[in-house]
Structure 1
């Protein structure tokens, strides 16, 4: 467990340095919301392309730890290059191209590490949340270092730090437990990850993946625009404030070990959706009273929202999907949530920002209120449509 936890720590620490700082960094350099949107679109576009294919290769051709290692090394070079060209004052498109390439290479790393972990843990439902805590600690510590040690909330230093940690993680991945491919297929359909779409024939799988995509749309606003709202309210250490979400994530991860054995998947997913509504309602409150109180409380709920949804989702798939398709299933989750959902969401929340905040149509209050209302509708649809029926081809 120790090596897996360390790998999660390094994997979480890298984006923890630059993700919370990205919007404010680009804004301070004079880029408008369109450049911010394209920078944030790199992840969703990448999630449409690489996680499913890479997961299929790991299921059928290459050892998982070797795939992880090479993804980490290559993406670290691209990430460092992206912030270097930004530092040198190159045109925005050069930075964006490198960010897109980095995202395409690194996008499968989260789902790959989840699959490797579950292949070696004796009890995934009890042990995986504890191992996954490494990423939470890594992200939180990176945010604190960015704000209080590096003073890099608005500088490219946060990007350089992220690239350095990613490089270290790439080397560390080669020392993960050996995870040979469990499958033997050589068909192009399988190697491209197309077999994973058969999971959508199950009603609950279809509802689950659809809700993951829909929920990811309003959630795209969290790291993209919450730091901007904090900065407008006078918070000069927004990266550290955003780390409050990782503090609650620690609590949520510890609770997951027992919650998964006591409650149905539907209950935990519904709880995550409900807390997401409350989070954005609190953000809207900050928009009304002009203080950071609602934002800080809402950010503190992030860990519960994220953990109760995505960690439950990953364990749900590991429980229901045949072993030879588990990396592909995790890749399919990345495609629906981090790809389709986040892609549409990133564009939509930027347009809503221009309308509500820049265009002063209710400002931050209406911005967050609209997103909260969207999640309410998603929650109602999930509760009505998800039945919790056992799969016709159970994995165990």
Structure 2
């Protein structure tokens, strides 16, 4: 049968199915992650905020590499995504039931750990499915990926303006339902068969991905990605709390400003990647991140919320130009049998190692500079701006990327 007549392989059908799954995948965390700090604070659990943001990275140190290896060697990536989303949905439901019932916060962390173990590889798996089936992936992947951005926006607006759940657990229940819907929608995705073969125990655990580190630019990229993820962890840990300090009654909805600019950047990225070197795009992201944190620091010093809103908006562009660019170029550079593991390594670094350190560092900085919850925000955000500046300098000095295809 001609591929275009087969619904599962028709390019328009593939695009639509991927877009819908990305939309639901983005909507679920958009419902609850920006609200989490304020939810825990309203329950008298503010001291647990750093630990809530530590659990996910710890789990992401393991699951993305293993899932990437499974997708490369044993299990179709689309099916692995669907079943992991089912487990994540029930874990998310359990996490907010535990909070609602007033159980010890450790049980909440256990449930979040389940969510992270199951759902941690999901972004990498979706990237693998997308790159396998999309025609002209470099141009069309950002257009599919923007579905997640729009989903996050919708989720945040629903939490703030429909559920009125900026400080309640109801947004978590909604997120669990959306996560389950994403699993069901994933059944519509085209079959993505493994292209690699299982070899040693290292291969089965996804550790073969570390061979990418032998290439200088890859090594610099992954190191800078881990370092860059440290200040980025503060965005959803403390930017919503700071909005509340500045007088915003609906911080979860306001945080969607980042995704609005992210959506615009996503549409532009497809064209830009065919005309610009990857180093240029990544340097732009790092440079604008310095400004992003500096704007929030200005809000801390002046009390003018507009500076913080500008910083939040810039975050969307910075995220797109760095991490979406990285996914596309990693797919271009690695062999077909290693694509899942390469995406898993990126997820491990950007969602595991970096945020793990970031949650601890940002939690300590918050306690050091903002002990009373009101004063000291300027110094807090400016410290993060300096961290982003160091990433900019390191990447600029050591990443060569002399050709258009380099990463």
Q: Give the TM-score normalised by structure 2.
A: 0.94
Aligned: 1:250 with 2:259:
no
The 5 A counterparts of 1:87-106 are 87-106=100-119
Match among 260, 267, 275 for residue 262 of structure 1: 275
Deviations 1:351-372 (A, max 9, x none): 0000001168970000001110
Distance 1:225 1:351, change over 3 A: same
Cα distance in 1, alignment partners of residues 40 and 80 from structure 2: 32
Cα distance in 2, alignment partners of residues 251 and 69 from structure 1: 28
Are the aligned partners of 1:213 and 1:336 in contact in 2 as well (CA < 8 Å)? Answer: yes
Are the aligned partners of 2:296 and 2:381 in contact in 1 as well (CA < 8 Å)? Answer: yes
Cα distance in 2, alignment partners of residues 361 and 146 from structure 1: 25
Match among 157, 180, 191 for residue 167 of structure 1: 180
Give the secondary-structure state (helix, strand or coil) at the position aligned to 2:126: helix
Q: Which segments of 5 or more consecutive residues in structure 1 lack a partner in the other structure?
A: none
Match among 35, 41, 44 for residue 21 of structure 1: 35
Aligned: 1:32 with 2:46:
yes
Aligned: 1:55 with 2:68:
yes
Give the deviation of 1:390 after TM superposition: 6.2
Cα distance in 2, alignment partners of residues 42 and 258 from structure 1: 37
Aligned to 2:329: 316
Deviations 1:140-170 (A, max 9, x none): 0010011110100000001000000001111
Give the secondary-structure state (helix, strand or coil) at the position aligned to 1:180: coil
Aligned to 1:76: 89
Cα distance in 1, alignment partners of residues 301 and 76 from structure 2: 53
The 5 A counterparts of 1:346-357 are 346-357=359-370
Are the aligned partners of 1:272 and 1:309 in contact in 2 as well (CA < 8 Å)? Answer: yes
Cα distance in 2, alignment partners of residues 139 and 360 from structure 1: 27
Aligned to 2:78: 65
Give the deviation of 1:173 after TM superposition: 1.2
185-194 or 250-259: bigger deviation: 185-194
Aligned to 1:4: 18
Give the secondary-structure state (helix, strand or coil) at the position aligned to 2:304: coil
Aligned: 1:46 with 2:24:
no
Give the deviation of 1:389 after TM superposition: 4.7
Deviations 1:193-234 (A, max 9, x none): 011000000000000000100000011101110001001111
Give the secondary-structure state (helix, strand or coil) at the position aligned to 2:258: helix
Aligned to 2:10: none
Cα distance in 2, alignment partners of residues 318 and 389 from structure 1: 19
The 5 A counterparts of 1:288-327 are 288-327=301-340
Aligned: 1:123 with 2:144:
no
Distance 1:141 1:187, change over 3 A: same
Aligned to 1:339: 352
Q: Give the TM-score normalised by structure 1.
A: 0.97
Give the deviation of 1:378 after TM superposition: 1.2
Aligned: 1:182 with 2:225:
no
Distance 1:99 1:376, change over 3 A: same
Give the deviation of 1:188 after TM superposition: 1.8
Q: Which segments of 5 or more consecutive residues in structure 2 lack a partner in the other structure?
A: 1-14
Cα distance in 1, alignment partners of residues 33 and 46 from structure 2: 17
Give the deviation of 1:46 after TM superposition: 1.5
Aligned to 2:7: none
Give the deviation of 1:289 after TM superposition: 1.0
Give the deviation of 1:185 after TM superposition: 2.2
Give the secondary-structure state (helix, strand or coil) at the position aligned to 1:19: helix
Cα distance in 1, alignment partners of residues 261 and 119 from structure 2: 26
Aligned to 2:297: 284
Are the aligned partners of 2:278 and 2:404 in contact in 1 as well (CA < 8 Å)? Answer: no
Cα distance in 1, alignment partners of residues 218 and 375 from structure 2: 38
Give the secondary-structure state (helix, strand or coil) at the position aligned to 2:18: helix
Are the aligned partners of 1:204 and 1:389 in contact in 2 as well (CA < 8 Å)? Answer: no
> How many pairs are equivalent?
393
Cα distance in 2, alignment partners of residues 97 and 184 from structure 1: 34
Aligned: 1:240 with 2:253:
yes
Give the deviation of 1:32 after TM superposition: 2.6
Cα distance in 1, alignment partners of residues 395 and 316 from structure 2: 21
